[in-house]
A and B are shown apart, each in its own frame.
Chain A
Amino acid sequence: MSVVPRLIVRFVRRELRTAEARILVLALAVAVASVGAVAMFSERVKAAFANQANVLLGADVMISGDRPLPESLIAEATARGLRTTLSTRFGSMVAAVRNDAVAPAGDTALSDVKAISGDYPLRGALEKRNAAGERVPFVASVHPGEVFVDERLAARLRVKAGDRIELGKLKPRVAQVFAEEPEVAGSFLSASPKVLMSDADVAASELLGPGSRATYRLQVAGDRAQEFAEAIKPRLGPGQRLETVRELRPEVRSTLERSEQFLGLAASFSVFLAVVAIVLALRRYLKREIDTATLFRTLGAGQRQTFLHFLGQFFVLALIACVLGVLLAFVAQALLAWAVRGLFASTLPPAGWLPLGKAFATGPILLLGFALPPLVALAATPPVRALRRELPAVNGGGVFAVLLGAIAVLAVVLMQSQDLQTGAIFVGGLIALVGLATGFAALLLWAIRRLVRHGRLGKLGGPQSWAYGLANLDRRRLSTALQIACLGLGVTTLIAVGFVRTDLFSAWQKSLPPDAPNRFLINIQPDQIESVRTLLPKTADGKPIALYPMVRGRLVAVNDKAVSPKDYADERAKRLVDREFNLSAAEALPPANKIVAGEYFAATDRGVMSIEDGIAATLGLKLGDRVTFDVAGEALEVRITSLRKVEWDSFRVNFFALLPEPTVAPLPKSYITAFHLPGSDSKTLPTIVNVAPNVLAIDVSEIMGRVRAIVDQVARALEFVFAFTLLAGLLTLYTAVVATQDERRYDTALIRTLGGTRRQIVASLIAEFSALGGAAGLLGVAGAIALTWTLATRILKIDFVASPSVWISGFALATGLTMLAGWLGTRSVLNTPPIQVLRE
């Protein structure tokens, strides 16, 4: 006898007539659907964020090179129907021209010149001020013989539209003064005032001689930009790089990553709910299958054949559920996208097939992960059970089953979040919770036995029907433990979801307060500190704003070995070594910084340094390395005594390298500060620049605005995702209670035939369900606290805030819902003739 695929399919068709099989398929389909919908929707939202962040590049994709970029790149972009802009960026002195003569010294400034061809920018817009001083966006191309200058340069050179400036050999006319350009890529600490000129004028200006340093860029925009980026990525030559906003702007990167973490968490939670639904539905289904297995065995099916048959049957069921689930997922994510339609500037980009594929795989992985051990046991059903049905059914596989289930969950969570730590937390949480639930159930049952067995409940005045209800829980010990565990897990998930959505998320939002610094002043000379400080606003608590020293030094040696850009393969490392570092001093570890290795130096230490761990990794620097900087011709040697993590999205003044104050004191330095100005304030910066013309004032409110917009959008998108998860969770809880109704219905019907009154039955059910719901609620709350604490401190790195109101309402909700669902599931028994129930 062999396994007949036809028989398997036929059996599945037959089984689908039963409620058990349908509920299993439905549970699995809902699991797949929620995993798929959340994953798909998250991907679309993430892609939308990426697009939005790319506005900061002024394009969808940007390629930079140290030399002019090959024509083939442009051809390739145009072939894909993309719009392109070539630009060349370099530094140059610019001077004002008055009455056709170059103005005297003082009206010159080192500027960041960008020579462009075509409309600029491709994404986002330049901004100019209208008559009322408000910023208005515009897109334009610069004509030969003209330049656009930014407000800072205009203020510095005291020029306005229509005036001329000297730019190399040329004296172009200022056609436009702009307030902001979208491309903010690059460190703003070194940003100079900006000039936009026409590409056609570069040769005549003679600004780019053979030895001059410039960055050549190709910016592209269009639907197929990402495809283009993927295609050319492997073919980039030395000195060429694909710029992404993530690499260029640490604060944007961490904002995006955080958003993705939150969305990933939502997806992981949906896996949790899926597990609850599947375990319960599976249990009920398998119970029915024992009869089928018994019959198979008596009719001469071997253990192997029986096993393979049921395995095949499960596989087909899973397949059906997955197809159904994926369809549901597709609809659900479309609904989600529709619900958030107003939130994003454009419609959400379509999701790829990957999340759907993953969701599809979730079904078989989870089902087989949990079904395999019981299936093995099922196949071993002794045929003699046909003669004695009351023989104990085979056990579920014990430790092996738990292990396999855990692996399945881990696989699915990893598939969702691709982060081993998150996966470990979820699986560890799952196992701990099951263990806790078992212990808890045992304790509860012990208490019930003591209460009921010795008639204490009666003595305490409790009605006998309560005792009966509680004794019911004790009679179905295993079932009770499982129900408490599953309900508890469901409650944990629901509370954790609510908690992540409200408390954790707002903790993150708060890390970017509305009064975060949005203006930077750079290059303040020591003798200007006092005069600048008087012009600055005070902090919220009335203190003067802090100014930080900044020393520029070039990295020249590590552990006495000279280094140069050639020594590094990594493009970013090359650039870092090529440029000057900003070294600063801080007596104590600044806020938004965290030591990850070593110890922060004491105020009295000399010749030591604390460095940001990311840059240390890029440059291959370790704790204890001696690093030599060239500071204005003098060598400065410091030893790395600590590595720091910096929260870049805090928008404070942050430095890669921090030294003790005594070490910095004798070095030539300027000062830097950051502070908050309301958007309406257009006077403070020009006043400061008037008093101290060498000071560079930078407005980062634009970037902050974008980051904040992203955070707000994540917040609202998450609302929807979590609402969806919550809904799926409630559904799961309901199924959880209903899936365990059979025994209860039978018992209740039996009591009715024996003359139990409605009141007695209701009282016994209430006792049973409130004990069950209360236990699940307690367990769920405990689990939720542990889970959210771990997530907050380990994954999201956010301060954990206790919120008893969420816990209490979670507990109340869990107990209430269990009672309600239990009541709904059993109620009909009271209104149906018992014989009908008994015959079911």
Chain B
Amino acid sequence: MAEEFVPVQTKVVTKPFLVLAALALTGLGLIAYRYVAGLGAVTNLSDGYPWGIWIAYDVLVGTALGCGGYAMAILVYVFNRWEYHPLVRSAVLTSVLGYTLAAVAIFIDIGRYWNGYKLFLPWQVNLSSVLVEVALCIGAYVVVLWIEFLPTLLEKHREHPKAAVWLRRLNHALPVIAAVGILLPTMHQSSLGTLMVIAGGKLSPLWQTSLLPLFFLLSALAMGFAVTAVESIASSYFFRRPYETPMLANLARVTAGVVAAYLVLRLADLLYRGAPVLSSGWLSAMFFLENLLYMVPLIFLVSPRAARNLRVLFLAGLALLLAGAVYRFNAFLVGFSPGPGWRYFPAMPEIAITLGLVSLELMAYLYFVKRYPVLPAQHG
């Protein structure tokens, strides 16, 4: 049988890799300082804005960017679209890295981390808390993702007899693993939205709605498809490999469907609630930015000619990722106002820690694609 996936045969330690390493080290140093001096010493968080970019970026955007594995699994395993299978592995890799770092970020963010294990004690958790569902599902999904990624690691050592046995066992368990791997993100990506329902009037009516779970789920799916396309195009470009053009064009149509559903529902909900779309000052501006970032790529994605143009696809994908990120920032930070006098903009060390974590993620990505069979084999 021909190899479906192969490692990229280049050096791991390159100049960009060293730059990333420097950023990662800076971040790690600041994280150490946070544990000595408290959260106030490295962040601009306050009693009014208790959640900042670590939650909005590292957790919300980070896990949504990690939805590639989820989105592709739905296409392949649920809709039986095996033509997308070549994209699954790299999508799972981005997912496993994104989610693992989100879990790390949560651990850095919570103030009383030594009590963190209490979240996993069934008699301790509060079942009416949305945060319990989010935390347990993200925790479980990190484990599931590593299991899904395991075959990639094992294949490299397939001569080893133990590895072969485990590969077979994993393949047996695949239906269950894949099903759980689809259920868990459906649950927590929507619950991430539900988190803000309890903020009530502190979140602007442009974002506060009982439909937050549905919007978070749909936008996470859209980001999952977009990130897979962007990653595929970027890795083909940087590693000088052939482009997956027809597959990407089809993917574009699926993505367009999800985005269109999201926009229709979002608009209907705003109209139904009579939200002050035009009269909310700077929040209105952010609202329009967010939705333009959805609408413009949608226009390109539905046109069949444009969808075969890789440059257009790439830019549309980036725009959709940005749209999802802006939506998440709006729903958790920009549209959140605890009352007069409170303000939040991330502190330098706070940003540096996030940058450090992202650098770690990119370093891990580069390492894995160059050492393990992650990217699709070149056909033809």
Do A and B pair up? The answer is no
Taking beta carbons and an 8 Å cutoff, which residues of A are in contact with B? none
